Each structure stands twice: as structure tokens, then as C-alpha cells.
Amino acid sequence: MSDTIIKSAQPAKQNGGGKATAIRTQEKAVEEKIRRLKLYVGTLGSINEKWLEKQKNVQKRKQKEDKYGDMVDDDKGLLNLINDGQEAIITLDMYKDEFEVAV
């Protein structure tokens, strides 16, 4: 009788071992998924940081372009003063040439 009980317990013991292996396999799969999620979250975090940095650069560039636009549109802005000065130099050179021809 005890032999029968021992023999009938063997398959149950083997099944229990198979279940333990299956559980360990599932635990490893879960651990792997957790590691992958951590990797993905880290990647998303770094992408977000880069995106925020790009946004700051775009805003700074936009501000610089606006300042440049204001300078160009201003009648007494630096670019208009330079242009007026160049025109004055050209005019004076023309008068100088005319004066030299006349003398």
C-alpha cells in the first residue's frame, strides 16, 4: 500500500517541479519586461530633455529674429544709419570727382 502511495505521489511531485519552473520562467519574463520598461522610460526622459532644450533654442532664435526685424524696420536703426552713411559717401565721392574735373 505504501508503495502505491509513493508511486502515485511521484507524478504529483514531478508536476509540482514543472509548475515551479513555469513560475520561475514567468518571473524572469516579468523582470525582463520591467527592465525594458525602465529603459524605455529613460529613453523617453532623455528625448523629453532634448525636446525642451530645442524649444528653448527656438524661442531664443525667435527673439533674436524679432530684435533684428525691429532694427531693420526702425528708421533710425543701425542698418538704416549704415545705409544712409554709405549713400552719403557715394554722393561725396561723386562731388569730389566732379570738383577734380572742374579744377
Rounded Cα gap, residues 97 and 10, in angstroms: 118
- Higher-confidence residue of 70 and 46: namely 46
18-64 pLDDT per residue, tens: 788 889 999 999 999 999 999 999 999 999 999 999 999 999 999 99
Cell representation of residue 47: 528625448
Q: How many residues are given for the chain?
A: 103
Q: CA triplet 33, 37, 42: central angle to 5 degrees?
A: 150
- Helices 78-102, 2-73: inter-axial angle, 10-degree rounding: 40
Choose between 61 and 4: higher pLDDT.
61
Cα 59 to Cα 16: distance, rounded to the nearest angstrom: 64
Domain boundaries, the chain: 2-102
